């Protein structure tokens, strides 16, 4: 609003009010002049107050106008900013619409992927269980494989050892010894403790004295000892107390003999009973059985017997009949 117009209006208002008051006082009564004078003073005071208010209002106006101009500039700036924001909003709205459509598509794709993931998770758990089971099975198979490999190695070593033993036994059974070792009495005695020929039961139909003798001879070949198949025919003393000589005895028996460092030694394969023969007066010289000779084994072997036939050993042992002395039995060297 124009400042001069406001001032003019206020002057007009004040002037008009004064004229009206004065005229009214004049018409009313001359007597009231004093009262009017008082009122005039009052009006002057009111005028001064109004003028003071006017000045304050004018100052306020000026401040308000300054604020208006400032706010108007701010409004213009805000209006321009609003236009920019509106344009940005329109762009953002369009982008939002595009993003919303993309979000919808992505949400749909996410739901499909979530469903696929759930199925894959179930498949994974199933495969994981299968994997753990297969891993356990593999570990067990690995352990079993290691055990089988160890067993195979042991069996292969045992096979090779047995194969070598078999070859040695084939050579032992089918070929003569290429060299001979002559054992001592004690070596033969210790060997018999470990040999198991005597543990085989006697069988009149399947395994007789000759079978025992043959087996022990083969076992002795493994020691490179020359053990011989030995046979006697004899009569018990009660059957022939006079020593009647015949071509054959009432009984026959097979056993073995072996050359030792002490001389010829006889062995009963069924019991591992060992002995040697000597002439009375010469216990250090081993001799062989003699035909038509009494030999007393006392409580051992066949007891008191009369030899009718004996298959002789080879030299250097001298037949006992060359010395006219009784033959005795010894079971220790």
222-244 b/e with 16+ CB inside 10 Å = b? eeebbbbebebbbbebeebeeee
Question: pLDDT value at position 147?
Answer: 93
pLDDT(321) > 50: no
At 179, which helix (H) or strand (E)?
A: none
pLDDT(261) > 90: yes
Residues 6+ apart with CB under 8 A from 100: none
pLDDT tens for each residue of 267-296: 999 999 999 999 988 989 999 988 888 988
- Contact yes or no for 269/216 (Cβ under 8 A): yes
User: Is 180 inside any structural domain?
Assistant: no
Instruction: Identify the weakest region by mean pLDDT among 51-60, 143-152, 219-228.
Output: 51-60
Average pLDDT taken over every residue of the chain = 86
pLDDT(10) > 60: yes
Going by pLDDT thresholds of 50, 70 and 90, the confidence category of residue 17 is low
Question: pLDDT value at position 43?
Answer: 85
At 155, which helix (H) or strand (E)?
A: helix 33-174
Question: pLDDT value at position 316?
Answer: 46
User: Is 268 inside any structural domain?
Assistant: yes
Same domain, 192 and 321: yes
Q: Region 167-171: what's the mean pLDDT?
A: 78
Instruction: Identify the weakest region by mean pLDDT among 34-38, 67-71, 99-103.
Output: 34-38
| Domain count along the chain | 2
**Cα 232 off chain centre by:** 69
Instruction: Identify the weakest region by mean pLDDT among 35-39, 176-180, 226-230.
Output: 35-39
At 321, which helix (H) or strand (E)?
A: none
Going by pLDDT thresholds of 50, 70 and 90, the confidence category of residue 30 is low
pLDDT(142) > 90: yes
pLDDT tens for each residue of 297-311: 888 888 899 999 998
Q: Region 246-253: what's the mean pLDDT?
A: 88
User: Is 169 inside any structural domain?
Assistant: no
- Contact yes or no for 312/288 (Cβ under 8 A): yes
Classify 176 in phi/psi space as left (phi over 0), alpha (psi -120 to 50) or beta.
beta
Q: Decide: residue 279, CB within 10 A, 0-12 exposed, 13-18 middle, 19+ buried.
A: middle
Question: pLDDT value at position 46?
Answer: 85
User: Is 142 inside any structural domain?
Assistant: no
The SS3 assignment for 138 reads helix
Same domain, 194 and 323: yes
The SS3 assignment for 36 reads helix
Question: pLDDT value at position 28?
Answer: 67
- Which of 90, 122, 142 marks a domain boundary? 90
Same domain, 82 and 195: no
- Which of 61, 90, 119 marks a domain boundary? 90
Same domain, 82 and 203: no
Helix axes 33-174, 209-221, angle to 10 degrees: 110
- Which of 75, 90, 105 marks a domain boundary? 90
Question: pLDDT value at position 198?
Answer: 95
pLDDT(29) > 70: no
- Distance separating alpha carbons of residues 62 and 232, to the nearest angstrom: 166
- Distance separating alpha carbons of residues 310 and 249, to the nearest angstrom: 10
- The pTM (predicted TM-score) of the whole model is 0.52
Q: Which domain holds residue 189?
A: 185-330
Question: pLDDT value at position 264?
Answer: 93
- Distance separating alpha carbons of residues 317 and 315, to the nearest angstrom: 5
Q: What is the CATH number of the domain that holds 266?
A: 3.30.460
User: Is 297 inside any structural domain?
Assistant: yes
- Contact yes or no for 306/240 (Cβ under 8 A): yes
What is the CB-side half-sphere exposure of residue 273 using CA atoms within 13 A? Answer: 11
User: Is 241 inside any structural domain?
Assistant: yes
Question: pLDDT value at position 317?
Answer: 44
- Distance separating alpha carbons of residues 300 and 128, to the nearest angstrom: 80
User: Is 95 inside any structural domain?
Assistant: no
User: Is 211 inside any structural domain?
Assistant: yes
pLDDT tens for each residue of 117-128: 999 999 999 999
Q: How would DSSP label each residue in 195-251?
A: --GGGSPPBTTTB-HHHHHHHHHHHHHTTT--EEEEEEEEEETTT-TT----SS-SE
Q: Is the peptide bond before 316 cis (omega within 30 degrees of 0)?
A: yes
- Distance separating alpha carbons of residues 228 and 217, to the nearest angstrom: 7
Classify 183 in phi/psi space as left (phi over 0), alpha (psi -120 to 50) or beta.
beta
Same domain, 190 and 78: no
């Amino acid at each position: 609003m124009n400042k001069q117009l406001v001032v003019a209006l206020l002057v007009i208002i004040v002037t008009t009010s004064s004229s009206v008051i004065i005229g009214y006082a004049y018409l009313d009564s001359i007597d009231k002049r004093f009262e009017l004078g008082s009122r005039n003073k009052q009006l002057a005071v009111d005028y001064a107050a109004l003028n003071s208010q006017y000045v304050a209002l004018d100052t306020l106006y000026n401040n308000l106008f300054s604020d208006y101009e400032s706010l108007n500039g701010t409004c213009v700036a805000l209006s321009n900013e609003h236009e920019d924001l509106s344009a940005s909003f329109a762009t953002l709205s369009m982008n939002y619409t595009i993003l919303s459509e993309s979000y919808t598509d992505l949400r749909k794709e996410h739901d499909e992927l979530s469903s696929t993931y759930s199925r894959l998770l179930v498949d994974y758990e199933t495969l994981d269980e299968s994997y753990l089971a297969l891993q356990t099975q593999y570990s067990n198979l690995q352990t079993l494989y290691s055990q089988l490999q160890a067993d195979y190695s042991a069996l292969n070593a045992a096979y090779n050892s047995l194969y070598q033993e078999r070859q040695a036994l084939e050579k032992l059974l089918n070929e003569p010894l290429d060299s001979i070792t002559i054992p001592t009495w004690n070596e033969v005695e210790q060997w018999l403790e470990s040999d198991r020929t005597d543990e085989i039961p006697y069988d009149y139909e399947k395994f007789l004295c000759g079978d025992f003798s043959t087996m022990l001879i083969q076992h002795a070949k493994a020691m490179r000892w020359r053990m011989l198949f030995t046979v006697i025919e004899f009569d018990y003393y009660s059957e022939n107390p006079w020593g009647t000589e015949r071509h054959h005895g009432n009984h026959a028996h097979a056993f073995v003999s072996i050359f030792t460092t002490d001389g010829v030694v006889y062995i009963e394969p069924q019991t591992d009973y060992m002995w040697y023969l000597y002439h009375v007066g010469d216990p250090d010289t081993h001799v062989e059985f003699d035909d038509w000779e009494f030999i007393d084994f006392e409580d051992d072997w066949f007891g008191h017997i009369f030899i009718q036939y004996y298959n002789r050993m080879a030299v250097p042992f001298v037949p006992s009949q060359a010395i006219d002395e009784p033959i005795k039995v010894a079971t220790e060297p």
